[in-house]
A = this chain, B = another copy of it.
Amino acid sequence: MNSLISHIQKFIPLNNEEAEIVLSYFKIEKFKKKQLLLQENQICNKQYFIVNGCVRFYINTTKGTEQTTQFGIENWWITDYLSFQYLTPSSFNIQAIENIEILSIERNSFEALLERLPKLEKYFRLVLQKSFGAAQVRIKYLFTMSAEERFHHMNDYFPEFIQRVPQYMIASYLDFSAEFMSKIRSGKV
Q: Which residues of chain B are near A128, meaning CB under 8 Å?
A: 125, 128-129, 132
- In the complex, what's the smallest C-beta–C-beta distance from A69 to chain B, in angstroms? 5
Q: Which residues of chain B are near A126, meaning CB under 8 Å?
A: 85
Q: How many identical subunits does the complex contain? A: 2
- In the complex, what's the smallest C-beta–C-beta distance from A157 to chain B, in angstroms? 14
Q: Does A139 have its Cβ within 8 Å of any Cβ on chain B?
A: yes
Q: Which residues of chain B are near A142, meaning CB under 8 Å?
A: 142, 175
Q: Does A101 have its Cβ within 8 Å of any Cβ on chain B?
A: no
**Chain A contact residues: over half helix, strand or loop, or mixed?**
helix
Q: CA A118 – CA B12 in complex, angstroms?
A: 14
- In the complex, what's the smallest C-beta–C-beta distance from A108 to chain B, in angstroms? 16
Q: Which residues of chain B are near A67, meaning CB under 8 Å?
A: 140, 143-144
* Those of A117-131 within 8 Å (CB) of chain B: 118-119, 121-122, 124-126, 128-131
Q: CA A158 – CA B138 in complex, angstroms?
A: 23
Q: Which residues of chain B are near A135, meaning CB under 8 Å?
A: 132, 135-136, 139
B136 touches A92 (CB 8 A): yes
B121 touches A82 (CB 8 A): no
Q: CA A62 – CA B57 in complex, angstroms?
A: 31
With A61-B144, A128-B129, A130-B82 as given contacts, are A138 and B139 in contact (CB-CB < 8 Å)? yes
B69 touches A140 (CB 8 A): yes
16 contacts between A and B (CB under 8 A): A62-B144, A67-B144, A69-B136, A69-B139, A69-B140, A81-B132, A81-B133, A82-B130, A85-B130, A85-B133, A91-B140, A92-B140, A121-B121, A138-B139, A139-B139, A142-B175
